[in-house]
Structure 1
Amino acid sequence: MPHHLPLFGGSRAWSQEDWTSSDDRVRGGSSHSTLTCSASSLTATFYGELDIRTLGGAGFASQRTTGSDRVWDLSAYDGLEVILGPSDGKVYTLTLKDEILPRRPDGREQSSVSWEYDFKAEGMRNSIFVKWSDFRPTYRGKDKHDAEPLDLRNVKRFGIMVRSFFGDQEGQFELGVVSIAALRMGRYRDHPQEEEEFDEKEDWGRTRSGWFSWLTSCLRCRS
């Protein structure tokens, strides 16, 4: 089992077909978002306009993975590593879903529990590691304290969102995302007696070193 499982970007190239918009227009709002990427690009760019006037202070814009039959088994990993590119300093949200309900008769999607993690990216490039326990369950934007645990064997959707937090942020937004990957922090052997003492700092350094080596080789090929 690999310690690092690329999901989007990195060694698993970005694809425009993997993503689609899911903005507040489904609720009568005016926000809009786009995610531009290609197999030859090292960074996907999530950008658009966050409007709060139409819905009276509320608003959101997001991109999510396409399809309702895709499944990722992430149960062997400890969380997600997100390598971020240039950002405008706004607060963004990483979302997961383990359930997608059938569409309503009018064609709209039914609401289901989302697992969310808010983060603020600053500067030209940085990375975050999000443990599964850092994700909080929400339903239609509100915390859902009685939600079942996130089913890591059946993750069915990823999303990137920006929202107003009821008027705290609005206007144009832009976030670069280099890669999203599942990460296993421990080192394990087949036999319990052969387990090594785990040094999290050392293992994290190896993961980061490997990623930067890959990035350097890509840049050399493009130059």
Structure 2
Amino acid sequence: SSKQPTTARATNARTSTFYLPDTNHPTSAKNTAMNKEKNQTLFGGSRSWKAEDWTASDDRVRGGKSQSFLECHNSTGRFHGNLDIQTLGGAGFASQRTTGEDRSWDLSAYAGIVLDIAEADDKRYTFILKDELLPRNPDNGREQATISWEYDFKPCFGESSLEKGGLVFVPWSGLKPTYRGKEKEHADPINLKTIKRMSIMMRSFFGDQEGPFSLTLRSISAATSSPVEPGRLEQGAARSAASNTNRWTWYRQSFTVSGFEQLNLIER
């Protein structure tokens, strides 16, 4: 039987969708294989994780004491470290970003990014894209600021934590343009043909979280379609949504600036 998911609507809400496979359904393996053929693996998965693809970008450049690492194995990449918010008076960030200033990804044929998570804590993370990099400042050698396209997500929540793995889908429409940490109004659309950098960040969210953090990823991929039709669950069509997604169990989270707001669960 299907239960209608409750829906909480909020102004300017941002959503994160993740799911766990129903391994008992006979078509699960077949459809999973078909979806993989349509996706492009960017990091991990069949390409494995490589330490040289990533480098730390922490608040130490601003006098902070936060520190991040990306521990690479063939099948997983573990983003972990410690977020310190005392040194900078409640602020702080720790992140890992892709290396190389001449790299470029054409993601224009895809609908968004899929983060395949193997294990996670209960903290909130941010996935970031940049479509422009400027030459370093000739006076101090530092990177010059450009617009960042950000998406916040919290992969674990209560009993539905992803301790056994799951996926987070990052749709292009969910990316928020920011400049120097503040939302950028009237920004030009992101240029998906020339993505220059990707980052995974742990930040304080104005003092809301701090301390050790850990997020283990199997892969980061570009996906040609959303794992669930946008709005379908919000319209209450739980039975139809379940059939159209080949009996995968879906969890849908809504986020506002203040954090986690609503968890919707389809049970069968």
Normalising by structure 2, report the TM-score.
0.68
Structure 1 residue aligned with 2:49: 14
CA shift, 1:91, in A, is 0.1
Structure 2 residue aligned with 1:85: 118
Of 61, 71, 76, which residue of structure 2 is paired with 1:43? 76
| Aligned residue type for 1:15 | K
Of 138, 147, 156, which residue of structure 1 is paired with 2:187? 147
CA shift, 1:140, in A, is 1.1
Paired residues for 1:18-97 under 5 Å: 18-38=53-73, 41-97=74-130
Answer yes or no: is 1:121 the counterpart of 2:155: yes
Please give the alpha-carbon distance, in whole angstroms, between the structure 1 residues aligned to 2:225 and 2:242: 9
Structure 1 residue aligned with 2:253: none
Answer yes or no: is 1:102 the counterpart of 2:135: yes
Of 155, 163, 176, which residue of structure 2 is paired with 1:136? 176
| Aligned residue type for 2:59 | D
CA shift, 1:108, in A, is 1.1
Structure 1 residue aligned with 2:146: 112
Task: Report Cα offsets for 1:159-210 as digits up to 9, x if no partner.
Answer: 0000001110000111111111001129xxxxxxxxxxxx99778659xxxx
Deviates more, 1:171-180 or 1:2-11: 2-11
Please give the alpha-carbon distance, in whole angstroms, between the structure 2 residues aligned to 1:129 and 1:34: 23
Instruction: Name segments (4+ residues, structure 1) moved above 2 Å.
Output: 199-206
SS, match of residue 71 in structure 1:
coil
CA shift, 1:133, in A, is 0.6
Paired residues for 1:198-217 under 5 Å: 205=246
Structure 2 residue aligned with 1:159: 199
CA shift, 1:146, in A, is 1.6
Structure 1 residue aligned with 2:5: none
| Aligned residue type for 1:111 | A
Task: Report Cα offsets for 1:86-133 as digits up to 9, x if no partner.
Answer: 111100000000001111122211111000000001231111111101
Which structure carries more helix by proportion?
Answer: 1
CA shift, 1:151, in A, is 0.2
SS, match of residue 193 in structure 2:
helix
Please give the alpha-carbon distance, in whole angstroms, between the structure 1 residues aligned to 2:38 and 2:176: 24
Q: State whether residues 63 and 159 of structure 1, in contact with CA within 8 Å, keep that contact through their aligned partners in structure 2.
A: yes
Q: State whether residues 185 and 200 of structure 1, in contact with CA within 8 Å, keep that contact through their aligned partners in structure 2.
A: no
Give ranges in structure 1 of 5+ residues lacking alignment: 187-198, 207-223
CA shift, 1:85, in A, is 1.6
- 103 and 170 in structure 1: CA distance in 2 versus 1, 3 angstrom threshold: same
Count how many residue pairs are aligned between Structure 1 and Structure 2: 193
SS, match of residue 46 in structure 2:
coil
- 61 and 118 in structure 1: CA distance in 2 versus 1, 3 angstrom threshold: same
Please give the alpha-carbon distance, in whole angstroms, between the structure 1 residues aligned to 2:246 and 2:50: 28
Q: Higher relative contact order by CA 8 Å / sep ≥ 6: 1 or 2?
A: 2
| Aligned residue type for 1:23 | D
- 200 and 132 in structure 1: CA distance in 2 versus 1, 3 angstrom threshold: farther
Give ranges in structure 2 of 5+ residues lacking alignment: 1-36, 157-161, 227-239, 248-268
